[in-house]
Amino acid sequence: MDTLTFLQKMGKSVLFFSFFSMIVFSCTQDDSIEGEGNLPNGSIDLPERTNADCEGEAFIQRKDAIVFPLDPSLFGLDNFVVNGGLETHQEITSSITGITYRYHVYLPPEYELEPERSFPVLYWLDAQFWGIPNAMQPIKVVDFDELPVIVVGVEEGPAGRRAVDYIFPGINTYNRFFTEEFIPTVESKYRVLSEDRTIQGGSASGLASLAMMLSDQENPPIFKNHLAFDPFIQSTSSLQNLLNDRLSTGVPLNKTLVITSMKSGFSSSVDPYAEDLATRNISCLNIIHSSYQGDHFASTRSSTGDALRDIYSEYYEQ
């Protein structure tokens, strides 16, 4: 199946339900979830921060950020050509969640040309959205920018499963599937730099990226970078509990978080959360927080150009 057909079929199958589930999340955010959109009242006792062998912490905030101007050809499905390879419609059935997930892998041109080389990997949640007409195609951006990065896009599973796996309490089980089953499966097939993993999510899957960041107790960490585009801050209390548990281990995070918000999206909950997280001076956590004009549905298009330049700056500077 060629790339265009693959994306068109994906788009037809998810467009209606994806729009509906976004609306449900948006309504739920205001009405029914504990702590939604508000930081907890009063102070929260956090464990003493530990000394760590890292370069320290940084907080970069870009209010009213200007969207990086991506090439218009990177949108839509017409004339879809990539220089790298694309291995689509692979599946994994989880013994942890009981769900079958479809995933797609983009390989940069260097992958075939340099058979002894391993590559950074960008895991991209909600890959069912890749096939929606006029949506931004992340693999096209990576390919256009000639980034030597593997991109692994994993779909939600059955329609609507994102409303289970990406939010509390289901994210805890999904995180086990991802780290214990999915990553080992993918990285047994492809030459991946395990020390240079990034995971991206937007909206509900942006919450998943945050939760996976705070649940990562490995040293070195499972993921080096976490991207959360206008994330659905379902429950600040659940996120705070994860943070408390994580800090109590005494293991530094050694991560970079790129978190973005949309002024007409979830900024009323995302911005306070990001700013509060920055005040904690969490050992070895770098935070880059950007706020863009536009609505929630423009978050991926608005955030991707800057986010890739933030986490892969060494390649862009060459």
Residue 39 has pLDDT above 80, yes or no: no
256 domain residue, yes or no: yes
pLDDT tens per residue, range 288-303: 999 999 999 999 999 9
pTM above the 0.75 mark? Answer: yes
pLDDT tens per residue, range 46-72: 334 344 567 667 889 988 888 888 887
Residue 267 sits in which domain range? 3-34+53-316
The pLDDT value recorded for residue 227 is: 98
Among residues 142, 149, 143, which one has the least CA distance to residue 305?
A: 142
Average of pLDDT values for 161-171?
97
122 domain residue, yes or no: yes
Cα–Cα distances (Å) from 266 to 35, 64, 80, 229, in that order, read 14, 14, 31, 10
Range with lowest mean pLDDT among 46-50, 182-186, 255-259, 296-300: 46-50
69 domain residue, yes or no: yes
113: domain CATH number is 3.40.50.1820
- The HSE-up count of residue 166 (CA atoms within 13 Å, CB side) is 28
Exposed (0-12), middle (13-18) or buried (19+): which is 9, by Cβ within 10 Å?
middle
For the chain, the domain total comes to: 1
DSSP class of residue 133 equals T
- Is 217:186 a contact under the CB 8 Å cutoff? no
47 domain residue, yes or no: no
pLDDT tens per residue, range 84-116: 999 989 999 999 999 999 999 999 999 999 999
Range with lowest mean pLDDT among 128-137, 182-191, 201-210, 245-254: 128-137
42 domain residue, yes or no: no
Average of pLDDT values for 118-144?
86
When mean pLDDT is compared over 5-14, 15-24, 259-268, the highest value belongs to 259-268
158 domain residue, yes or no: yes
Q: Find the DSSP H helices in the chain.
A: 3-31, 109-113, 138-144, 162-165, 170-177, 183-189, 204-215, 236-248, 267-279, 299-311, 313-316
105 domain residue, yes or no: yes
Among residues 296, 291, 284, 286, which one has the least CA distance to residue 306?
A: 291
280 domain residue, yes or no: yes
Residue 77 has pLDDT above 90, yes or no: no
